Amino acid sequence: MSRAPRKLKTVSSPKRRRVPAVELPGDGGSDEAASFIAETLAHLARLALRHRLDHLCYLLAVAQLEAEEHLRLRSRRRLS
């Protein structure tokens, strides 16, 4: 007894809505998050370097620079 092939339903992908960044009370905000991320990435990069994970160390260092750049640009905007 063979079954008839099922017809696959096409499912459209859900529309992605951009959720606005909401800073909750008690949440440090994007600057504090970027600072925490940069500090954590520095520790992770040192760990990767210690274990000779060169490519991972490089990627973590680049991510750290991006977080620090975010902080630098934000502080520059506040001064002007």
Decide if 73 is inside a domain: yes
Any domain includes 47:
yes
Is 43 contained in some domain? yes
The answer to whether position 2 is within a domain reads no
16-72: pLDDT as tens digits: 666 566 666 567 888 999 999 999 999 999 999 999 999 999 999 999 999 999 999
Total domains in the chain come to 1
Per-residue confidence (pLDDT) for residue 32, from 0 to 100: 93
In this structure, is residue 8 part of a structural domain?
A: no
| Per-residue DSSP letter, 59 | H
Residue 34 host element (H or E)? helix 29-50
Q: Residue 45 sits in which domain range?
A: 29-79
Whether 12 is in a domain gets the answer: no
In a domain, residue 1? The reply is no
Q: Is residue 45 part of a domain?
A: yes
37-54 CB burial, b ≥16 within 10 A, e <16:
bbeebeebbeebeeeeee
